[in-house]
Structure 1
Amino acid sequence: MTETDPVTAAPSGKGLDARLVVRRGSFRLDVELSAAPGDVVALLGPNGAGKTTALRALAGLTPLSEGGRLWLDGVRLDRTPPESRPVGVVFQDYLLFPHLSALDNIAFGPRCRGVPKAEARTQAAAWLERMGLAEFAGTRPRRLSGGQAQRVAVARALATRPRLLLLDEPLAALDARTRLDVRAQLRHHLADFEAVAVLVTHDPLDAMVLADRLVVVEDGRVVQEGGPSDIARGPRTDYIAQLVGLNLYRGEAEGHTVRLEAGPAITTTERLDGPVFVAFPPGAVTLHRDRPSGSSARNLWQCRVAGLETHGDQIRVDLTGELPLAADLTTVATAELGLRPGSSVWATVKAAQTHAYPA
């Protein structure tokens, strides 16, 4: 191999440089990840996209296939056994040792790295203090709440001073109220973490709050990456649009008019030419039982109600017809319109509430 071979040539600088290639039957994961120390990267994607496979590959629990590489701080890791990697992992169900106290769970990592027992327990006590759990030092996992167990699991992972922290759906096991509090605490701890952190989640709010950069994976490949606000403003697949709560369409722009690949035209405020995406939030959609005559909206489509469901404090209306879309209405508005599956309605959206951008 030559010095420029991507598998053997060490990257310059610190941080993560990886191409995660894994083949399993007909499925192929091929995801490139890079991050500097202090970065928090979130892997997002639908079930079966390859998120957990990517995390397992980073941890060394799943071997890379030909063409893959994994470098951390200039050191090649893909040939290093999992137990010898400077990697900390927080699993979805935390996997705390049930027979050990919170203190000894945290001390376990340093002890495995050769730290004497007394010193390891001193370090663990410091982590418990930092996590606000000093009074639970002698408590075993079954007597901890979900939020407390999650903080012990994070402390156990951080106690080994990893250069790469992996978090697999770290908040999924928590109830809604606990999740809110623990998410804020986890964000604080990640902000102080000086190495690379990779978070796997299907929850867009967890990703938006905890991560500096999002990497969206579908069918084993990266379909979009960028900062949370960039992803939210310009989704490029239907999955991402649903994730951030937008109606998304693709078409051909001619000035202020976008002719969709399948469906009617949409009028936008942006003047563009060529292939574009058009997006607008469900809250921008106004529904009418009869064709409106005095509306200033430039976009008008006849639709049929396919379904209704509670969405936060509003009702999400699923519409089919000229343009399939989602609309958010108050409960009162839904009742006044008498909406039910099969109802015929007219949907309007003002051009100023749409956003068009190059595809």
Structure 2
Amino acid sequence: MTDTPPAAGEGSPGPDKGYAPGTGPGTDPGSGSGPDKGLDARLVVHRGSFHLDVALTAAPGDVVALLGPNGAGKTTALRALAGLTPLSDGGRLRLDGAALDRTPTESRPVGVVFQDYLLFPHLSALDNVAFGPRCQGVPKAEARAQAAAWLDRMGLADHAGAKPRRLSGGQAQRVALARALATRPRLLLLDEPLAALDARTRLEVRAQLRRHLADFEAVAVLVTHDPLDAMVLADRLVVVEHGRVVQEGTPSDIARHPRTDYIAQLVGLNLYRGQAEGHIVRLDAGPEITTTEDLGGPVFVAFPPSAVTLHRDRPTGSSARNLWQCRVGGLETHGDQIRADLTGELPLAADLTTVAAAELDLRPGAPVWATVKAAQTHAYPA
């Protein structure tokens, strides 16, 4: 990507005001959530053997997160929205009712926060933020006054004169966000905005970014591979695999009803597909699973690794309706627990404490029995 932040839109934020409805950055007088407001896009890009075809719609004030594995097409979609990658035949991009397909990048009302922030190293934080308004023709003094207001809003008034090398990762991220917002964009794009931060800084900056996005009156699209970033920051998730949308919905809906192995791993669930006949689900590849739901036809069955209980010998007297003979494929630390990767009759992941793993003498190749209570499974239509 270019190191020149896209500059667009006209006007400036008030010097010290919050983002009151209809008056904050990213808004124009009379803007709202009418039928021609917001984002309406079909991002079609053909590049060699890779084909992207992703539909995106969002109303002003929406925060949409694009999630997906490496190579899924997330960055390509973001570049297409920014105008850095041209759309192929069949693609369209409309923002607030205006077609942007052929609009040059620098003329689009789009702000971008890049993964590595790409702040100009020779400019102070103040002049980095003032850069966008200056590109829009705002006089230097006024642009710097606007930038000072943005830095104050970001809690960085004391760092206005600092060069990027003197800023911490969290401070640089907020300067980059202020630089993007200073152009009053109608579409804000964030490319892995927290990826460059350490774990402690990430926690703090994530909370700050959530507050700023909640106040943003236009559309924001976030690209991330981190499920926690997506769950905390976004109103809606769009999951992309192999250039196509495989699932979209609210964070809670996707967390409860994953529809692909990637999503299940993302939210930490064991996921299977099969045919339901009442409370019994016959898996497409594997044994049966007993559930509490009474369903018929194609279904998904999911349960968390914490629902799995392991035994070295076949349990007797267990109330669990589901019992499978497995073998330990691998062990790894997962937070404050041990995650066991199990193979055999039913491949699955199981979480247990370090003490339990030691008592069971778990090691790769060891035979185990796995049980899951029907009440801890969740079945839903495929």
Correspondence list, 1:247-258, <5 A: 247-258=270-281
1:53 to 54, 72, 76: 76
Whole-Å Cα distance in 2 between the matches of residues 78 and 329 of structure 1?
Answer: 52
CA shift digits 1:230-258 (9 cap, x unpaired): 00000000000000000000000000000
Whole-Å Cα distance in 2 between the matches of residues 77 and 192 of structure 1?
Answer: 25
Q: Tell me the residue number matched to 1:90.
A: 113
Q: Tell me the residue number matched to 1:213.
A: 236
Displacement after TM superposition at 1:12 (Å)? 3.7
1:291 to 286, 296, 314: 314
Q: Tell me the residue number matched to 1:312.
A: 335
The answer as to 2:344 corresponding to 1:321 is yes
Correspondence list, 1:178-197, <5 A: 178-197=201-220
Q: Tell me the residue number matched to 1:6.
A: none
Whole-Å Cα distance in 2 between the matches of residues 101 and 295 of structure 1?
Answer: 66
CA shift digits 1:304-349 (9 cap, x unpaired): 0000001111111000000000000011111111000001000000
SS, match of residue 64 in structure 1 = coil
The answer as to 2:223 corresponding to 1:229 is no
- Matched to 1:159, the amino acid is A
The answer as to 2:194 corresponding to 1:171 is yes
Correspondence list, 1:1-359, <5 A: 12-359=35-382
Displacement after TM superposition at 1:294 (Å)? 1.2
SS, match of residue 23 in structure 1 = strand
Whole-Å Cα distance in 2 between the matches of residues 128 and 59 of structure 1?
Answer: 24
CA shift digits 1:259-305 (9 cap, x unpaired): 00010000000000000000000000000000000110000000000
Displacement after TM superposition at 1:211 (Å)? 0.1
Whole-Å Cα distance in 2 between the matches of residues 154 and 358 of structure 1?
Answer: 41
**Residue identity (%):** 89
- Matched to 1:230, the amino acid is D
Whole-Å Cα distance in 1 between the matches of residues 324 and 130 of structure 2?
Answer: 63
- Matched to 1:292, the amino acid is P
Displacement after TM superposition at 1:26 (Å)? 1.1
Whole-Å Cα distance in 2 between the matches of residues 183 and 210 of structure 1?
Answer: 8
What is the number of residues matched between the two proteins?
Answer: 349
Unaligned 5+ runs, structure 2 = 1-33
- Matched to 2:306, the amino acid is G
SS, match of residue 347 in structure 1 = strand
- Matched to 1:267, the amino acid is T
Whole-Å Cα distance in 2 between the matches of residues 220 and 163 of structure 1?
Answer: 25
CA shift digits 1:57-101 (9 cap, x unpaired): 000000000000000000000100000000000000000000000
Displacement after TM superposition at 1:184 (Å)? 0.1
Whole-Å Cα distance in 2 between the matches of residues 334 and 251 of structure 1?
Answer: 31
- Matched to 1:211, the amino acid is A
- Matched to 2:157, the amino acid is A
User: RMSD of the alignment, in Å?
Assistant: 0.7
| TM-score computed with the length of structure 1 as normaliser | 0.97
Displacement after TM superposition at 1:13 (Å)? 2.0
SS, match of residue 155 in structure 2 = coil
